[in-house]
Copies of this chain bind each other. A is one copy, B any other.
Amino acid sequence: MTSNNEDSFNSITSISELRKIVQQARLSGKKIGVVPTMGALHAGHLSLIQEALARTDIVVVTLFVNPTQFSPDEDFGNYPRPVEEDLKKCKEAGAHLVFHPDVSEIYPEDAYTTVSVNTISEKLEGQFRPTHFDGVTTVVMKLFNIVLPDVAFFGQKDYQQQLLIKRMVKDLNVPVEVIACPTIRDPDGLAMSSRNQYLSKQERETALLVPESLKLAEKMLLDGEEDFDKIKDAMKKLLTSSDEVKVDYVSLAHPETLEELKQVQPEIVALVATYVGSTRLIDNRIIHLSSISSNQ
C-alpha cells in the first residue's frame, strides 16, 4: 500500500504514512492536488477530482467527517459515511490517494488552537451555525499541513466556505493555490449535496424552489430591478410557497466580503439557506450584470 506509482491507488488512514508517500511524490517533482471532503461522494465531488487530475500529478482525496464543524444539535452522528463506496468512487475517478483517518488521528488529544477568518465567517451561515466555520478553517489548515498540497479544490456550492479558505490562505501566506469549482446540479437544477439523500420524494420536489429562487433573483436583476429588498422578498415568497420550507436567509451579497448589497454592481452573489422538512440546504448563484461598469 505504499507505492507511489501514479497508476496505483492507496487508501491511507495514518498521517505519517500519508506524509511519507506524498513527500516521495513531491521529491520526484510531482505536483500535489488535494480534494478535502466529508465523504458521501456525489458527482459534485467527482468533478473536483476531475479538475484536480487535470491540474496536478497526484490527487489526494480526504474523507473526514469533521466533528468540530458540527454543533451538538446538528447531524454529525447521522452524517452518511459510506467509506467503501467512497473508496471505490475515488479509485474509479482516478484519484491516487485517499486519506480517511479516524477522528482520533486528527484530534489525538484536546486541541486549543483555532484558525478563524473573522467578520466574513460571522455572516450568513455564521449567523445560524456560529461555530461551524472555525471548525472548517481549522481542520482545513490541519489537512493542508498534513498533505502539503500545491493546489486544493473546493466546490462553489459551499460559497462562503471556499471564500473563507481563500481568505485564510491569503492572510496566512499558506503556500497552496485554492481553486473553487462550479456547483454540479441534478438535471432539474438541484445542487448536489450529500444531505440531499435525507430528503423524502416530496421534499426532493419542494427543494427545487431553492435553485428557482436564485434564478428568480437573477431574472429580476437582469430585468433591471434595483430594489434589493423587493428581490429578496420575492425569493422568500417563492421559497415559502411550500409549507415544508423554512428560510434561514436569502442574501444578495458582495462576492468577496459577503456584505449585504444595497445597490447593483457588476457581480453579485445570491445565497439561500433553507430547511426543507428537517434537511438544511444551501445554494448560491453568481449574477453578472454586464451592463454595470465596475466603477459605478
- The contact string, 1 if C-beta is below 8 Å from chain B, for chain A 116-135, is 11111000000000000000
Question: Of the candidates B112, B145, B172, which one forms a contact with A138 in the assembled complex, judged by CB atoms under 8 Å apart?
Answer: B172
- The contact string, 1 if C-beta is below 8 Å from chain B, for chain A 207-219, is 0000000000000
> Do residues A113 and B167 form an inter-chain contact, with CB atoms below 8 A?
yes
Set of chain B residues within 8 Å of A113, measured between Cβ atoms: 115-118, 137, 167-168, 171-172
> Do residues A175 and B117 form an inter-chain contact, with CB atoms below 8 A?
no
- Whole-angstrom CA separation of A174 from B19 in the bound complex: 12
Set of chain B residues within 8 Å of A115, measured between Cβ atoms: 113-115, 172
- Whole-angstrom CA separation of A47 from B246 in the bound complex: 63
A119: nearest chain-B partner, CB-CB: B112
A113: nearest chain-B partner, CB-CB: B171
- Whole-angstrom CA separation of A295 from B112 in the bound complex: 25
Q: How far is the CB of A160 from chain B (nearest CB, A)?
A: 13
The reply on A141 being an interface residue by CB < 8 A is yes
A29: nearest chain-B partner, CB-CB: B27
- The contact string, 1 if C-beta is below 8 Å from chain B, for chain A 153-192, is 0000000000000011001111100000000000000000
- Whole-angstrom CA separation of A119 from B111 in the bound complex: 10
> Do residues A172 and B141 form an inter-chain contact, with CB atoms below 8 A?
yes
Set of chain B residues within 8 Å of A172, measured between Cβ atoms: 113, 115, 138, 141-142, 145
- Whole-angstrom CA separation of A43 from B111 in the bound complex: 34
The reply on A15 being an interface residue by CB < 8 A is yes
> Do residues B114 and A116 form an inter-chain contact, with CB atoms below 8 A?
yes
The reply on A95 being an interface residue by CB < 8 A is no
Set of chain B residues within 8 Å of A114, measured between Cβ atoms: 115-116, 118
Q: Which 7 A-B residue pairings sit nearest by Cβ, starting from the closest? A: A113-B171, A111-B171, A145-B173, A142-B173, A113-B117, A113-B168, A112-B117
A-B contact pairs, 17 of them (CB 8 A): A15-B173, A19-B175, A112-B117, A112-B118, A112-B120, A112-B167, A113-B115, A113-B116, A113-B117, A113-B167, A113-B171, A114-B116, A116-B116, A138-B172, A142-B172, A145-B172, A145-B173
